[in-house]
Amino acid sequence: MRATPTHLRPNKTCATLSVIAPAPASAALRPHCLAALPGAIGRLVLTALLLAGGAGSAPAQNIELPPGPGRALVYGRCRTCHDLQYVEESKGLDAVGWDGILDDMESYGVVLSPEERRKIVDYLATYMGDQPPPAPAAAASDQPADGAALYAGNCAGCHQENAEGVEETFPPLAGNDDLFLSKDFLARVILHGLSGPITVKGGQYDNEMPAFDHLSDAEIAALVAYLRSHFGNDAAAHPDLARLTAEDVAVLRAEEAGPEAVRALRDELVGKGR
Amino acid sequence: MIIHNAKLGVMETPLSLLREHYITPKEIMYIRNHFPPAGKQAWYGTTDAPAVQDWKIRISGLVVRPRTITLDDLKAMKQVKLVAVMQCAGNGRYYFSQKAKVGGGQWKHGGMANVEWEGVPLRAVLEKADVGPAADARWITANGADESPAPKGADLIKSFRVEDPFLDNAILALKMNGEPIPAVHGGPVRLVIPGYYGNMNVKWLSEILYETEESPSPFQSKAYREVKKPVKPGTFTVKDYNTGNSTPTYAFKTMSVIFYPLAEDRVKAGPVEIRGVAWNDGLAPITSVRVSTDGGKTWQDATIEGGAGPWAWQKWSLKTSLDAGTHDLRCVASDALGRSQPLDGTVAWNPKGYEWNGADLVRVTVA
């Protein structure tokens, strides 16, 4: 197995520190927290901190919402435009308040079926609402992961239903060679995210895909298999790539990596393929 | 900085940083963006000016002669400078949530800055372009180059009455604090309307339209609107806004904040100088800032030291004395039109949490 570039995994302990506290100039910066911000934004904040001559920290990028039915849809659809801190800071709204937020978001462009919208509002009102949330939901059932449903809930918001992407913003997954760069690369993108700039099918994309590590090992394996065999993608044309299993994903999940590390890996793999 | 949304680079300046500079440096200036121009996500990660050689602004709509003006056209015209507060309409939203939760970024007072803009007066640009608007084109719509990542999504568009007197002072800004405007703050060209909330100051200005109606964009018709009458939590929700019962968040309400001391400052018993800034929409001067050191029971008049023009922070200070113990400091500004601030800002509670202007409250512990 290929060694993963060693970038620090976001340190979740600094997620609670959201304010720069005035501190003596000798106090150390918290680079591990800054590293948790998307690369470019992290550098911007670092500039501000240096100007301030003080120490500081910033919330981690990988905000986790409480597990519950519908959470995956929030992860899959809301992060097209903004990260989950928007959701976190709105915590405490009642069902009408969350429903109103969804009105706003639909007017800004998120496309949801009535069923998806209902699930999202139910989740937010229950787990991010004005009443204490119920005990964590029972573990997922043993039903086999459904690649098509996973794609619709997690990927289609950005990459579109037809997997053709959005010009200059989200790369296509249809006919995207990245899917077959190596056995593991696609799973790493899903688990750890991917930051641009990248070129896909001749188009430039300079964006950042967040990690989708809330998906289970089996779900990611199913999603990889689905992507490699739909939208005109043909896994059979790559006999050298063995089928990725849930056990493989479990190993990848333990790696410390982030969107920039995955991009570095991509650069390596693309360079090798030339 | 206080991060509200890392993906979009949305961040707020702690007052302990903001107070260090009368003119806010770009490195610590608050950022509130929705979407970058397509393919320009990288613009969100730097305080550099965008590397664009050419920039075009289309002036069109219900006009006889649509025109396109370029960055070079603007550079060749007479430039004016002004210092103005830039402030997010959601600045202070957190304090509304103390009454009833309001969705969105929980901004305290740091969603504002005091910066110098330089550019060409909007009226001069329109006059020179001479596009010949139709008589019933009563609205001017400003559109930026931002683009929603959702293919059918809306982007930020703002409309103003053609005769709006605030537009008389508006400029097509090319510089901020003496440098080309950082991309993240709307460069290369930003519509700056002194005295208007941040969202009205359209970034990456690319289009000006004369129209008979205001833009149907949800950013004009639904978002960034303030209710016309006071509403109560539970009886008026975000779903109840329409263009009849609300207005766009145009002009700043009169506002003031305490810069020193802040809750984290160590204050020794004895003489102390309480300092802060006040501002409004610039229509009338700030004539009074009153300060209380006992939570609002008694008040003293602060000295207004003034500022760099009608739209800039007006500095104020009060020399007083504080005993050891806990003190609730408060301040209230008023202007020559009698416009002031409520002691309890939540009287203006609104479900979107805009235009907070409650009297500041800082609890300090004096040792």
Domain at B295, CATH number: 2.60.40.650
Q: Spell out which residues of chain B touch residue A121, defining contact as CB-CB under 8 Å.
A: none
Residues B215 and B260 in one domain: no
Q: What is the pLDDT of residue A139?
A: 58
- pLDDT over 90 at A60, yes or no: no
Say which amino acid occupies B55: W
Instruction: Note whether residue A49 is domain-resident.
Output: no
Cβ within 8 Å, pair B16-A210: no
Q: Which residue has the tokens 């098509």?
A: A148
Q: What percent of chain A has pLDDT over 90?
A: 64
Q: Is residue A6 part of a domain?
A: no
pLDDT of residue A50: 57
* Section B119-125 average pLDDT: 98
Cβ B3–A196 below 8 Å, yes or no?
A: no
Residue of B149 and A252 predicted with greater confidence: A252
- Check pLDDT > 70 for residue B132: yes
A62: nearest Cα among A97, A22, A32: A32
Q: Which of B25, B41, B152 sits opposite A51 (nearest CB)?
A: B25
Residue B105 lies in a domain: yes
- The per-residue pLDDT for range B245-274, each reduced to its tens digit, is 999 999 999 999 999 999 999 999 999 999
Partners of residue A97 in chain B, C-beta under 8 Å: 101, 103, 237-238, 351
Answer whether residue B114 shows pLDDT above 80: yes
Residues A108-117: tens digit of each pLDDT = 999 999 999 9
Which tokens is B167 given? 């537009």
What band does A56 get if pLDDT is binned at 50, 70 and 90?
A: very low
In chain A, the residue whose alpha carbon lies closest to the alpha carbon of B152 is A109
Q: Do B351 and A100 touch (CB under 8 A)?
A: yes
pLDDT given for residue A58 in this prediction: 47
Regarding predicted confidence, which is higher, A270 or A15?
A: A270
B92: phi > 0 → left, psi -120 to 50 → alpha, else beta; which? left
- Residues A180, A262, single domain; the answer is yes
Single-letter amino acid code for the residue at B98 = Q
Domain assignment present for residue A172? The answer is yes
CB pairs under 8 A between A and B: 172
- Regarding whether A225 and A157 lie in a shared domain, the answer is yes
B303 min Cα distance to partner chain A (Å): 28
B215 lies in the same domain as B309? no
Structural domain contains residue B245: no
Q: Is the pLDDT at A61 greater than 60, yes or no?
A: no
| Portion of chain B with pLDDT greater than 70, in percent | 100
Instruction: Kindly state whether residues A90 and A175 are assigned to the same domain.
Output: no
| Farthest-apart Cα atoms in chain A, separation | 61
**Is 70 exceeded by the pLDDT of residue A59?**
no
Whether A108 and B6 lie within 8 Å, measured CB to CB: no
SS3 B345: helix
The answer to whether the CB atoms of B7 and A83 lie below 8 A apart is: yes
Q: How many CB atoms lie within 10 A of CB A234?
A: 12
Looking at the fold, whether A162 and A220 belong to one and the same domain comes out as: yes
- Sign for the CA dihedral angle at B103, B106, B110, B115 comes to negative
Residues A120 and A185 occupy one common structural domain: no
Q: Do B104 and A39 touch (CB under 8 A)?
A: no
Confidence of residue A55 (pLDDT cuts 50, 70, 90): very low
Asked if A83 and B6 come within 8 Å (Cβ–Cβ), the reply is: yes
Calculate Rg over the CA atoms of chain B.
21
Cβ of residue A80 closer than 8 Å to a chain B Cβ: yes
Q: What is the pLDDT of residue A48?
A: 65
Q: Tell me which of B41, B217, B231, B264 to substitute to probe the interface with A (most A C-beta atoms closer than 10 Å).
A: B41
> pLDDT-based confidence at A47, cuts 50/70/90?
low
User: Do residue A48 and residue B27 have CB atoms under 8 angstroms apart?
Assistant: yes
Distance separating alpha carbons of residues B58 and B212, to the nearest angstrom: 18
Q: What mean pLDDT is reported for chain B?
A: 96
User: Do residue A172 and residue A236 come from a single domain?
Assistant: yes
Domain presence at residue A220: yes
Residues B74 and B166 in one domain: yes
Spatial separation of the C-alpha atoms in residues A71 and A77, rounded to whole Å: 10
Strands (E), chain A: 194-195, 198-200, 203-205, 208-209
Q: CATH number, domain at A120?
A: 1.10.760
Domain, as residue range, for B127: 2-222
Integer-rounded Cα Rg, in Å, for chain A is 19
Residue B6's pLDDT is what? Answer: 87
In a domain, A181, yes or no: yes
Judged by a CB distance cut-off of 8 A, whether residue A56 touches chain B is: yes
Residues in chain B closer than 8 A to A61 (CB atoms): 6
Cβ contact, residue pair A107, B5, below 8 Å: no
The minimum CA-CA distance between B108 and chain A, rounded to whole Å, is 11
Q: Is residue B146 part of a domain?
A: yes
A94 touches chain B (CB under 8 A): yes
User: Residue B94 falls within a domain, yes or no?
Assistant: yes
Average the pLDDT over each of B33-42, B87-96, B103-112 and give the range with the smallest value: B33-42
Binary contact (B6, A61; C-beta < 8 A): yes
CB spacing of A166 vs B238 below 8 angstroms: no
- Position A34 in a domain: no
pLDDT at site B65: 98
At residue B102, does pLDDT exceed 80?
yes
Look at residue A189 and tell me whether its pLDDT is greater than 90.
Answer: yes
Domain holding A263: CATH number? Answer: 1.10.760.10
How far is residue A206's CA from residue B192's CA, in Å, rounded to a whole number? 28
Question: Do B259 and B288 contact (CB within 8 A), yes or no?
Answer: no
**Distance of alpha carbon A154 from alpha carbon A80, whole angstroms:** 10
The predicted model gives A152-177 an average pLDDT of: 94
Mean pLDDT of A221-244: 93
**Within a domain: residue A171?**
yes
A169 in a structural domain: yes
Tallying the residues shown for chain B, one arrives at 367
If asked whether residues B191 and B276 sit together in one domain, one would say: no
Least confident of A199-203, A206-210, B208-212: A206-210
Per the structure, the complete domain to which residue A85 belongs is given by: 71-127
If asked whether residues B57 and B154 sit together in one domain, one would say yes
Do residues A4 and A261 lie in contact, with contact meaning Cβ atoms separated by under 8 Å? Answer: yes
**Mean pLDDT confidence for A184-204:** 95
d(CA A16, CA A270): 38
Which residue in B has a C-alpha nearest to residue A161's C-alpha? B151
CA distance B202 to chain A (A): 17
Cβ contact (<8 Å) for B9 and A44?
Answer: yes
CATH number for the domain that contains residue B106: 3.90.420.10
Residue B248 belongs to some domain of the structure: no
Q: Are residues A154 and A239 in the same domain?
A: yes
Q: Is A20 on the interface with B (CB under 8 A)?
A: yes
Q: Residue B344 — pLDDT band, cuts 50, 70, 90?
A: very high
Residues in B touching A157 (Cβ below 8 Å): 150
Place of tokens 């009455």: B161
Q: B72 is written with which tokens?
A: 């070079």
Phi-psi region of A83 (alpha: psi -120 to 50; beta: other; left: phi over 0): beta
Please check whether residues A234 and A188 belong to one and the same domain: yes
pLDDT band at A206 (very low <50, low <70, confident <90, very high): confident
Write the residue in A56, A86, A103 that is nearest to B239 by C-beta.
A103
For chain B, say whether A271 makes contact (Cβ under 8 Å).
no
Q: Is the pLDDT of residue A177 over 60?
A: yes
pLDDT attached to residue A30: 36
Interchain CB distance below 8 Å, A48 and B154: no
Statement to judge: residues A177 and A263 lie in one domain: yes
> Do both B40 and B180 map to the same domain?
yes
Chain B, nearest residue to A23 by Cα:
B264
pLDDT score of A141 = 59
B50 confidence band (pLDDT: 50, 70, 90): very high
Q: Is residue B136 part of a domain?
A: yes
Prior bond to B180 cis, omega within 30? Answer: no
- Contacts of residues B299-306 at CB distance under 8 Å and 24 or more positions apart, as own/partner, are B299/B332, B302/B274, B302/B276, B302/B331, B304/B278
The Cα of A243 is separated from the nearest Cα of chain B by a number of Å equal to 33
The residue with greater pLDDT, B83 or B35, is B83
d(CA B273, CA A144): 68
Using the Cβ of A251 and the Cβ atoms of chain B, whether some distance falls under 8 Å is answered with no
| Same domain flag for A257 and A188 | yes
Is B338 part of any domain? yes
Structure tokens belonging to residue A196: 């641009």
Supply the pLDDT for residue A41.
Answer: 67
State whether A19 and B2 contact (CB < 8 Å).
yes
B280 and B307 Cβ atoms separated by less than 8 Å: no
Average pLDDT over residues B17-36: 96
Do B49 and B134 lie in one domain? The reply is yes
Residue B117 domain-assigned?
yes
Structure-token pair, residue A61? 């990028």
Nearest to B278 by CA among B173, B359, B204, B160: B359
Q: In total, how many domains does chain A have? A: 2
By three-state DSSP, how is residue B104 classified? coil
- For every residue of A43-93, DSSP letters joined together read HHHHHHHHHHTS------S---PPP-TTHHHHHHHHTTTS-THHHHHTTT-
SS3 state of residue B200? helix
Instruction: Give the integer Cα–Cα distance in Å for A95 and B238.
Output: 12
pLDDT at B238 over 90: no
Total domains present in chain B: 2
Give the mean model confidence (pLDDT) for residues B132-152.
94
Task: Please state the rounded mean pLDDT for residues A266-271.
Answer: 93
pLDDT at A165 over 90: yes
- The verdict on A155 and A262 lying in the same domain is yes
Residues of A in contact with B237 (CB under 8 A): 96-97, 100
Structure confidence at residue A23 (pLDDT) = 33
Overall size of chain A counted in residues: 274
DSSP string, B127-183: HHHT--B-TT--EEEEEESB--SSTT----EEEEETT-GGGGG-EEEEEETTEEPPG
- Distance separating alpha carbons of residues B71 and B206, to the nearest angstrom: 11
Alpha-carbon distance A38 to A36, whole Å?
Answer: 7
pLDDT of residue B91: 98
Cβ <8 Å between B42 and A206: yes
pLDDT over threshold 70, residue B158: yes
Nearest by CB to residue A204, choosing from B35, B39, B264, is B39
Which residues, numbered 106 to 135 in chain A, qualify as contacts with chain B under a Cβ-Cβ cut-off of 8 Å? 107-111, 130
**A167 neighbourhood in chain B, CB within 8 Å:** 38
Q: What is the DSSP letter of A154?
A: I
A265 and A151 part of one domain: yes
Mean pLDDT of chain A: 81
**Nearest residue on chain A to B45, judged by CA atoms?**
A40
pLDDT of the residue at B301: 98
What are the Cα distances from residue B115, in Å, to A146, B25, B112, B118?
53, 8, 10, 10
